């Protein structure tokens, strides 16, 4: 049997806590995973996993073997990266990113990166919720925050994302146009529930920051839904400028001049802080640093 494959399976068993989840991730059956675990237990001479009909638990020997597996896979990846430094990358790159950012900004970047590396398979996990990188086997997550609860992760800034306050001409005709951020509290505002400032919109300039409490008729965990709600005249939205280039140009949304600009968001590439990152992961992060800013501005010219 392929011992290295078994080591990879066992590492994910510990991280996911389930034979079934590992089988689904690697596209094989539970029986294959169980067979590899028995093989590893015969090879090590130790019981690595306690099994029951409903659950599994990792033995003390299994925890020690897990550390060995992590080291083996990291060292193997480093050696292969060195040997293939002048060749194309291959394997699978798992990327987690927000839905709206993916649809409006990241899609062409991801497509062109894969086309530049045809031996690479990119697996996208699209969700506006925070993703647990370790348990989900994610290589890189694109996030709008650098605050990390897990010390095993590293966040690298890749670009600044400008935001703007917008409303439809119909809404402004009916409700009037606010002339300052303080007036926003008297308007119907559309709330992005996952934002750090969902109910306290933050603005600032060289003289400092200010915030204003807002409320309104719609709360959503997806920015593109709020863009559509703003176009429909439901209220005022605070959204990334890169999501509404077309709407601003067409006049279906109007940017409000409030004296202060919304605080921009920093986009981060978040990844497990392993000593030896796979070459495909490092290349993708470097690619994001080079091209995300242009994609946000709508001036992407990647060939």
- As beta bridge partners, residue 254 has 167
pTM, two decimals, is: 0.70
Q: Distance between CA 154 and CA 276 in Å, rounded?
A: 13
Give per-residue pLDDT as tens, 14-24. Answer: 988 889 888 88
| pLDDT band at 195; cut points 50, 70, 90 | confident
Assess contact for 105 and 242: CB atoms under 8 A.
yes
pLDDT at 27 over 60: yes
Give per-residue pLDDT as tens, 130-179. Answer: 777 877 788 999 988 655 655 567 888 899 999 999 999 999 999 999 99
Per-residue three-class SS string for the chain:
CCHHHHHHHHHHHHHHCCHHHHHHHHCCCHHHHHHHHHHHHHHHCCCCEEECCCCEEECHHHHHHHHHHHHHHHHHHHHHHHHCCCCCCCEEEEEEECHHHHHHHHHHHHHHHHHHCCCEEEEEEECCCCCCHHHHCCCEEEECCCCCCCCCEEEEEEEEECEEEEECHHHHHHHCCCCCHHHHHHCCEEEECCCCCCCEEEEEECCEEEEEECCCCEEECCHHHHHHHHHCCCCEEEEEHHHCHHHHHHCCCEECCCCCEECCEEEEEEEECCCCCCHHHHHHHHHHHHHHHHHHHCCCCCC
The whole-number average pLDDT for the span 65-94 is: 75
Mean pLDDT, the chain, rounded, equals 87
| pLDDT band at 274; cut points 50, 70, 90 | low
Q: Distance between CA 164 and CA 293 in Å, rounded?
A: 17
Q: Could you tell me the two tokens for 207?
A: 């003289």
Neighbours of 234 (CB within 10 A): 20
pLDDT at 147: 59
Percent of the chain scoring above 90 in pLDDT? 53
pLDDT at 55: 79
pLDDT at 85 over 60: no
pLDDT at 224 over 60: yes
pLDDT at 94: 92
Q: Distance between CA 272 and CA 292 in Å, rounded?
A: 21
């Amino acid at each position: 049997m392929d011992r290295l494959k078994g080591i990879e399976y066992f590492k994910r068993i510990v991280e996911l806590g389930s034979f079934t989840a590992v089988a689904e991730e690697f596209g094989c059956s539970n029986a294959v995973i169980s067979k590899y675990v028995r093989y590893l237990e015969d090879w090590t001479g130790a019981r690595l996993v306690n099994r029951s009909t409903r659950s599994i638990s990792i033995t003390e020997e299994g925890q020690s073997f897990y550390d060995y597996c992590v080291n083996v896979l990291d060292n193997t990846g480093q050696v292969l990266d060195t040997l293939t430094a002048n060749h194309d990358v291959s394997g699978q790159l798992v990327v987690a990113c927000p839905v709206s950012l993916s649809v409006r900004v990241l899609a062409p970047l991801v497509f062109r990166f894969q086309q530049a590396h045809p031996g690479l398979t990119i697996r996208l996990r699209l969700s506006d919720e925070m993703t647990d990188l370790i348990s989900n086997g994610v290589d890189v997550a694109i996030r709008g925050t650098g605050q990390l609860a897990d010390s095993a992760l590293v966040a690298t800034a890749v670009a600044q994302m400008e935001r703007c306050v917008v409303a439809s001409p119909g809404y402004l005709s009916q409700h009037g146009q606010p002339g300052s951020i303080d007036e926003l509290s008297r308007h119907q505002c559309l709330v992005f529930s996952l934002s750090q400032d969902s109910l306290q919109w933050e603005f600032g300039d060289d003289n400092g920051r200010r915030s204003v409490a807002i409320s309104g008729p719609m709360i959503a965990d997806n920015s593109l839904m709020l863009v559509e709600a703003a176009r429909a005249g439901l209220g005022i939205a605070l959204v990334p400028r890169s999501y509404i280039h077309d709407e601003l140009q067409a006049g279906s949304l109007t940017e409000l001049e409030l004296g202060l600009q919304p605080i921009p968001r920093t986009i981060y590439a978040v990844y497990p802080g392993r000593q030896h990152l796979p070459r495909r992961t490092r290349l993708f992060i470097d690619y994001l640093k080079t091209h995300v800013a242009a994609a946000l501005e709508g001036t992407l010219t990647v060939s």
